[in-house]
Amino acid sequence: KHGYRLIAQVENLPLKEPPADGGKKSVNWLPQRPLWWGTGVTQPRSAPLTISVLPFKTAADDAVSIRFAGGITADLADDLSRLSEIWVINDPGGSGDLHHEKRARYLVSGSVFHAQERLLVHVQLTESATAHQLWSERFDHPLGELFDMQSEISRRVVDQLSLRVSQAERRHLARRYTRNLAAYGYFLDAQVHLLTRETEDNRQARALYRLAIEQAPAFARAHTGLALSHAADYRNQ
């Protein structure tokens, strides 16, 4: 057998100059929203921003405001905690412990008032170290639009922090666990009873979670709360 070897001429190709943008992936922006929603891969910060959501204040004799203020505070903290560029540092007991506030770079605070089937929510963003108020806005919506208002508040806070948010994170901010106001009210009342960790309060919490589920069978947080109430009974045996 005869073998053959192919000898081809070698040509040195000149190196190409790197693209002007450094080869970074492009980011598509949604111009119809004032918030910077990044639909591509965003460049992360060197460290996430730290933020604390303080309990929203209410008038002492306003039962409706008191009922929903806790829910607005908790849901805003939950929304922000799911964003990759934010660390939420909160006092789990809602006691307003200054230790938690001092650890956070930014503080979100607010107040809730109820009048004639409308909710007025005033929200402020403050720099913790200087106590300088960076942003303040009032939100006035019918009570039936509570969930839309919660989403709007979350988006506005993120907007003020100039954060880039992925598509998945944007979908979460737009999503509510339920849009049934009655179910949400039962859920908030149940949460208050569950947090006391007393046997009788735990029974009341369980009954309220069940009422919430009757109103909105797909309300996942109510199902979770019901499970926690059973777990609390087991621990208290």
CA dihedral 211, 217, 221, 227 (to 10 degrees): 70
- Provide the whole-model pTM: 0.69
Return the pLDDT at 46. Answer: 60
Residue 17: pLDDT above 80? no
What digits encode the pLDDT tens for the residues 169-182? 877 777 777 889 99
Return the pLDDT at 197. Answer: 75
Compute and round to an integer the Cα radius of gyration of the chain: 25
Residue 16: pLDDT above 50? no
What digits encode the pLDDT tens for the residues 90-104? 765 554 555 455 689
Q: Are 39 and 30 in contact (CB under 8 A)?
A: yes
Return the pLDDT at 198. Answer: 84
Indicate the burial class of 163 (C-beta count within 10 angstroms; 0-12, 13-18, 19 or more).
buried
Between helix 181-196 and helix 199-215 the angle, nearest 10°, is 160
Percent of the chain with pLDDT over 90: 43
Q: Is the dihedral of CA 120, 31, 75, 210 positive or negative?
A: positive
Residue 68: pLDDT above 70? yes
